[in-house]
Chains A and B, each alone.
Chain A
Amino acid sequence: MNYTDEELMQRAKAGELKCISTLFDRYHVRLYNYFFQQTRDKGQSEDLTQNVFERIIKYRKKYREKKNFTSWIYAIARNVHMDLYRKKRFDLPGNDKVQRLAEVPNEDETIESLHDNRLKLAMAQLRQDEQQILWMTRFEKMKYAEVAEVFECSEGAIKAKVHRTMKNLKEVFFKIIVDE
């Protein structure tokens, strides 16, 4: 049976816990990359992904019917990420990322990986919320209205943030190319 995410979550809420396994298969790589893009730390990104599913299992009864599942899981992901930094008391991600990316030796760099690194370098210079919005709108192809649900703000506010994010990213990305 090919259930939608929302149907699977409803079933899980009703007691069919096995359905969360299908949701894990659908989302864990995406979430892992969402975290990895912000932390550049594989182990930490896996822990954070694990924490998201731990909360889904724990709070499954709180899932509201008809709530967009992607928005719900990303809202959890944002909270998990913020909690980690509150508990561990170290700086927010991103601040040393540009340097770390630049330091990574890349012996067999292809044209594709060179482009990929330029983009990652540019993305690392965005603010945390900008990185999250970029991920949700471009990689997840979420609509502004769905992202607004994650951030609990208006669609207009997200639209303005997307505009600002893309303008910033374009400016930094082409500057890196020119500087090279």
Chain B
Amino acid sequence: MNKEEKIIDYLQGEMTYEERSKFERSLTSDPVLKAELEEYRLLFDEIDQMEISRPSLTLKSNFDYMLESEMIRQDSKSNVMTLKTWRSAAAVAAILVIGFLVGQNWTQKSVINQQSQALVADMKRNMKSESVTGRIEAVQVSQQFAKPENEVLNTLIETLKNDSSPNVRLAAAEALDRYAAEEKVRTALVRQLSTEKDPFVLIALINTLSEQKVEKAIDPLQELTTAEDVAKFIKDEAHLGLIKIEKI
């Protein structure tokens, strides 16, 4: 650690008692260090005295309204929960009584499967829409699936890779974020990182891959940090992403 860094840690209060004492002793014999410390102290004082702005009163009233709404929602939810619990108990009792109708379960499952297939078909059809909004809505249909369906993932990956609109690709990247634990999704996101040109899709990809600590993303992220045609804020985000993955 050089002298300047020691000064910063000293003024930040990040030194142990022993380090502080040693540093203060060295000040008496090193006038250059002392002068440098004074310059930093001046800067730190300026920062500490910087004027603080006050937000408008609307912020407080909006917050109060938001909190009260949530409190009402919480109360009504707990009432509904009680009702739900009672209903569940009644349902269990009913099932016990009419146990011989267990086979009905199979019918229900089959209905759910049919609904799910209809949703997938809907999504794939709307993906072909010429309207960007239509395609974004199709991507958002994927949110209705509780677990990743193979066909849904393939459609989202295909959209991320090939859609001409960056807005649709961004929606696909955000939708895939939910399924980022899946290996095929990770591979697709890493590949896209090397080819994607839109800054906001890139940011979404970097965020997902770094949150998931996908090591395969390290090389393309490093390339982003040094690429000449990449905006500075993306380089910064790529650098932060590397820090998250590598824990440096």
Contacts and interface: CB of A to CB of B under 8 A. Distances in A.
Interface of A: 15, 17-18, 20-21, 24, 28-29, 32-33, 36, 42, 45-46, 49-50, 53-54, 57, 82, 85-86, 89, 91-92, 112-113, 115-116, 118-120, 127-129, 134, 137-139, 141, 143-144, 151-154, 156-157, 159, 162-163, 166-167, 169-170, 173-174
Given A42-B56, A162-B8, 20 more contacts: A18-B71, A21-B67, A28-B63, A29-B55, A32-B53, A32-B59, A33-B52, A49-B59, A50-B59, A53-B63, A82-B203, A85-B203, A115-B49, A128-B233, A128-B236, A144-B14, A152-B244, A154-B247, A166-B43, A167-B4
B179 interface: no
A103 to B, nearest CB: 18
Nearest to A30: B52
A119 B49 CA distance: 10
B75 to A, nearest CB: 10
Interface string B34-59: 00000110011011111111111011
A42 B57 CA distance: 12
B51 A24 contact: no
B244 A129 contact: no
Nearest to B44: A138
Contact of B46 (A53, A115, A151, A157): A115
B67 A17 contact: yes
Contacts of B90: none
